Structure formats: structure tokens, C-alpha cells
Chains A and B, each alone.
Chain A
């Protein structure tokens, strides 16, 4: 197990190197002079341009530039925002907790909604009930998050006034108010993912149902509820772990839309604002951080997967 984890972490190095190279080349891919990109397009002071060019080392070979850039990032220096002049690291530190909380909250709600529906659909003997649940989950997969969010705001915040509109106190200062304020955004993120989880659980349950050990459990006269819980569910949920990992990654990216709908000051909104304001160093940092988080989540999921299922052993 330890050997497997170490091997996976070693394998991570080239992946992270390529990701960082791609993010670095963003500056050069965006049309225009990279120094101008860094400085912002409105600032055309030649002295400042020259300073930025020197600072970026644009006169040096590209691999030297990349090395210097990577060196700074590894020391936590992401540079400063072109618009606000504030260190990007500080901006990230402010925004990241919202995005991470939203993703975790969203995954929890998605599991809470998706797993029972999937178990029900996979365990029921009624073909009609299964069909109805299948249609329901297909509908869930067809909903655009930004629209669901807008409809939630309209229904729950504007009409019913159950939830406050667009207020997000810090989780640690006012936990209850925070969880309440973040509920609708998290639910919006959760809906399509709950549908995906439900479908996966169902398919997995249906597959497990034909296994010998389930037949044995039935044959020895166990109650159906016990067969489902102890023999089917445990095994059926293993592949679901992978999906939950995919979902978590999706949520990190998908929260861009939800953060925008609900005006949550997270990393996604930060990135989007950076695009609008052409604050490309900020955008670079956002893309890098989210991609690295995504890779790390996937690694974590693979490790959990191996730990959960003793039959899988990656030597």
C-alpha cells in the first residue's frame, strides 16, 4: 500500500510539470506581447513595459523563463494582480476556502441524494419504479447548473424567502449562517452529480445482484434488507468511489458557473473576473491551482479505492 502511494506520487511529478508548462505558456499563447499581457492592455508606459520585460526575462530563452517562473511559484510567489496590485497568493487564500467548501458541500449533498435513489432503483423488483427513477436521473443530468441556480434563487430566496440572498459569512466565524447561505449553491452543484451517482450506484447494484455471494446470502434465508445492505451495497459502492472523485474534480471546475450565479467570491469567480479584466497573471494562478487540486483529488481517490477493495492491488 505504502509502495503504491509512493509510486503514484512519483508518477505525479511529470504530470504536474506538463500542467505547469501549459499554464506558463498561456502567457505566450494569449495574443500580444507577454509583457503587455502582464502589465494589462491599458498601461502603455514604455519604461514600465521595459521593466516588466526585464523582470520576466523575456530576453532569455524560453526554458530559462519557465524555470524562473516555476521557481517563484514553488516558493509561493504567484506575482501580483495587474488590477489591484495585491499579491495573488493573498487573493487565492481569500477565495480558495469558498470554492473548496462549495465542492465538499456539493459532493456531500450529491451523495446524500444520489446513493439512496441508486440503491432504490437497483434493489427494487419493480421494473416500473426502476424505469421512473431512471427517467428522473436522466432529467437530473439534463439540467444546466446556471439555470437551476437561477430558479432556486427565484423560488427559495425571492418567493419563499427560506434562504438569504447572496450572503456568505466565513465558515469559521458564523458556521450556521454560512452553511445556510451556501446551501442553495451546493444543492445546485449537487443535482446533476447526484443523478450521475444514482445511475452509477444502480448499474453497480444490478451487476452485484448476479454475484454468487448474493445468491448464497439469499439461499441461506437472509432477509432481503440485510442482503441489500450487507452483501450488495458494500460491494456496489466501491466503483462509486471513483465516480465521486470525478465528481469532486468536476465540482472544482463546475463551481465557476455556480459561483457566478450566486456571486460567491471563490476561485472560479476570481478567474472569470481575471478574464474580463484581462488580469492574466491571476488567471494563470487560478488555472494552475485548480488543475493541481484536481490532480491531487484524483490521486486521493485512487488511493482510497485501493484501500477499500482488497481485491485490487496495484503492484
Chain B
């Protein structure tokens, strides 16, 4: 069964070469990817790069301005802002990545099963997804956090659950189409198990839109995590979180704006990175958008 003649999904190499060519030409993609690589590296190497321990207080240097001993200055407790931002990135990226992976796996699984099975399974699953859509996202996330108790893991689950229906809808549509294709019928006629057909024929067809959506959702997940932390429902002090830093700094804006300004800029940079890459991917991978561009310009 390894190299089945009925396998209809084109193999990777050619497509990947095409992807590389398009990606290199897209300035959005290059800029976004550069930002993301830098940020991820900084987050991974935070323990080595941070000039000071994250919770170390320099009482004599409270609200130090940027420059000098503290590159980005210090906060109310005299904690080094750069060090806290580096560690804050760790939390942000980790929560964003975990929640999106959770939503992607669960959501695409539900969507593919619903689309492939059809009938009652489809109706029940998709109505359940509609109900999740009936709540404003932030309100739903907050409610989940309240039920689970504030903390990093709850944040991951809250954001993940909110995103599940998005992935379910995206995965369902191509699954519905693929189900009717001759090669799937052939596979069924050959007596393949449904799980094998889904893995071999359906998943490759849904992976591209899912992948693009995941990139975009990473951007919004970072915003989400920071908003929950800002509200005091995400990462708990004294652990550094970018949203929490903005919130803490907000009370002393007149004394020193930097403890709010820099973490906010850090969030914007990360979100912009994901948005640039997501936007570029959409243009590169969706031929319709590419044609739109050609026709429009």
C-alpha cells in the first residue's frame, strides 16, 4: 500500500520549490519571517541574553530611563525591562503555540470527521461549533478561565477552545468535496478503512488552508494572551507576561511611560511578524489571490 497508484495528492518537492520561490519574492514574508526568527531566538535564549534575573529588584534604580545600565530602563520595582520582555516573549509564544496547536488538532479532526462522515455526525458537530460561535470570543475565553481558574494552562485551554470552531469549519469544507471524488470512492471500493482514507486523501487536501489559518491565529493568540494577562486572568505575577507588564506600568504613566511602552511595542512586533507571514502565505498558497493581484495590477 505504500505507493498506491490511486494516490492523488501531488508529492511535496515540486510544490515546495514553488513555495520557496514565491516566499523569497514576497517582501512581506521575508520581513515577517525575519521578525519571527529573531523573536523566537531571543525567547529561547532568554536565560542567556537577559542582563538581569527577571524578578531581581534594584530598589535604587526604580523607573530608570532607557539607556545606561538598563537598556530599556526599569519598572516600579527597579526590575530590568529588557530581561522581563525577553522572558515575557517566552510566555507569549509558548501560550500562543500551544493553544493554536490544540485548536488545530482538535478543530481539524472534528471538521474532517464531520465533513467526511456527513449526515447526523456532521449536523451534531457543526451545530456544537455554531454554539461556540454564538459567544463573543473574549467573553467565552474569560468564562472558561473563570471555570478553570486563572493561570497559564487555563489560558492555553481557553484560547484553544475558542479557536476550535474556526479550524473545524475550515477543515470541513474541503473534506466535503474530497469525499465525493473518484479516488476516494476507489479507495473505499478497494476496502480501505475510513481512518486510512482520511489520513491519506483528506488531510493533505485540508492542510494548506489549516496551515494559513494557524499562522493568522498565532498572531491573534498572542493578542489574546496579553489581553487576558492584562485583565489579571492570564499569567500570574511575579512571572513576566507582556500584557501584565503593560497593566502594571499603566498606573505610573505620568512618572515613567517606559514600563508600559516597551512591552506593548514588543507585543506589536510579535503580532505583526505573524500577521505579515500569514498574509504572505495566503497570497502565495491561494492561487486565486495571486491571480487577483495579477488582474488588479
Contacts and interface: CB of A to CB of B under 8 A. Distances in A.
A142 B230 contact: no
Interface stretch (B38-46, B171-179, B187-195, B243-251): B243-251
A10 interface: no
The secondary structure that dominates the A interface is helix
B272 A253 contact: no
A142 B142 CA distance: 21
Interface in A122-152: 127, 134-135, 138-139, 141-147, 150-151
Nearest to A249: B136
B23 interface: no
B139 interface: yes
A144 B139 contact: no
B134 A150 contact: no
Nearest to B296: A206
B247 A146 contact: yes
Contacts of A15: 130-131, 134
B272 A142 contact: yes
A138 B227 contact: no
Contact of A291 (B134, B246, B279, B296): B134
Contacts of B231: 256-257, 260, 272
B37 interface: no
A200 B17 CA distance: 31
A143 B268 contact: yes
B24 interface: no
Nearest to A15: B134
B147 A253 contact: no
B241 interface: no
A22 interface: yes
B250 A275 contact: no
A61 interface: no
A127 B139 contact: no
B250 to A, nearest CB: 5
B227 A257 contact: yes
Contact of B227 (A26, A141, A146, A249): A146
A261 B219 CA distance: 22
Nearest to A254: B138
Contacts of B275: 138, 141-142
Given A139-B272, A147-B267, A287 B243 contact: no
A275 B143 CA distance: 9
B146 interface: yes
Interface residues of B, number: 46
Contacts of A276: 232
B19 interface: no
A275 B146 contact: yes
A31 interface: yes
Contacts of A143: 268, 271
Given A138-B275, A256-B142, A287-B139, A144 B267 contact: yes
Interface string A195-220: 00000000000110110000000000
A19 B143 CA distance: 13
B139 A256 contact: yes
A209 B296 CA distance: 8
Interface residues of A, number: 48
Nearest to A274: B146
Interface in B243-297: 243, 246-247, 249-250, 253-254, 257, 260-261, 263-264, 267-268, 271-272, 275-276, 279, 292, 295-297
A290 interface: yes
Contact of B264 (A30, A135, A150, A250): A150
A253 B136 contact: yes
A18 B257 CA distance: 46
A290 B230 contact: no
B223 interface: yes
A294 interface: yes
Given A15-B134, A150-B264, A283-B146, A144 B296 contact: no
B297 A127 contact: yes
A144 B254 contact: no
A66 B137 CA distance: 25
A252 interface: yes
B227 A145 contact: yes
A138 B272 contact: yes
Interface string B109-142: 0000000000000000000001100111111101
A89 interface: no
B18 interface: no
A129 B136 CA distance: 34
B149 interface: yes
B226 interface: yes
A26 B140 CA distance: 12
Interface of A: 15, 18-19, 22, 26, 29-31, 127, 134-135, 138-139, 141-147, 150-151, 153-154, 158, 206-207, 209-210, 249-250, 252-254, 256-257, 260-261, 271-272, 275-276, 283, 287, 290-291, 294-295
Nearest 7 A/B pairs, CB to CB: A253-B136, A147-B264, A142-B271, A142-B272, A253-B138, A253-B139, A146-B230
Interface of B: 28, 130-131, 134-140, 142-143, 146-147, 149, 219, 223, 226-227, 230-233, 243, 246-247, 249-250, 253-254, 257, 260-261, 263-264, 267-268, 271-272, 275-276, 279, 292, 295-297
Given A147-B260, A153-B253, A272-B231, 12 more contacts: A26-B143, A31-B149, A143-B271, A145-B227, A150-B260, A209-B296, A250-B136, A253-B137, A271-B142, A272-B142, A283-B146, A287-B139
